[in-house]
Structure 1
């Protein structure tokens, strides 16, 4: 999220915070996607987190939010969290299981394979186009960002 913010000239701290906190409630709601995001929004509002961050976290799960993503940060969070899942799955099929082995072309190829990482919502990733990025460019931004923290990710 910070890399996207940087690329778009947006607030890296705010966008980074949204990226870090967006799944904070997943254990509290036992993975229930009908409320995931809503509970996080409630928790974070009580703690005085920036309303834009709270709104993006609420909206990253449209099913629970009952609304359609409309703002840049909404699309960035939905696309960003989802592409990381596809990139991780791509890395895990390599013999060394390392992000360093992953290439943009591999990510975009896997994007087209519906059976690969079948739970990855490809329509969310394609929201990158609402940010002005092609899939190739967006994949590159995400891959480079993940590669820069590969040790923390264990990949």
Structure 2
């Protein structure tokens, strides 16, 4: 029974992942991302369809406070989406595996309802979204 279940799940995953996306209309989204009123130097923005929205999501890279899914990203469909933004200081440090630099804030999450058209959407991340110390953070000198 476990083998049949596994085969069914695998078949469903293959079917869902191989749907022809050429008939799905995507739209480009561009805009700005600021943190505490200042442009975010580097980062990523991910748009995931919210429950009930069956279209694909999208993504873009943030450069100097701007993003555009038409330039090195992929536009989402219209409708409600959950947005996750990651912002970095832009000071690359390959030795420490920080290609975009150090994180400015923990991943910021919000929701948007996108039109069925190319659009602009700006995001202002508040200063209260700063990075929280890790659970095993520094403890100071003893």
TM-score bucket (shorter structure): under 0.3
Bigger Rg, which one: 2
Larger helix share, 1 or 2: 1
Query: Which structure would you say has the larger RCO, counting Cα contacts within 8 Å and 6 or more residues apart?
Result: 2
Larger strand share, 1 or 2: 2
What TM-score results when the alignment is normalised by the length of structure 2? 0.22
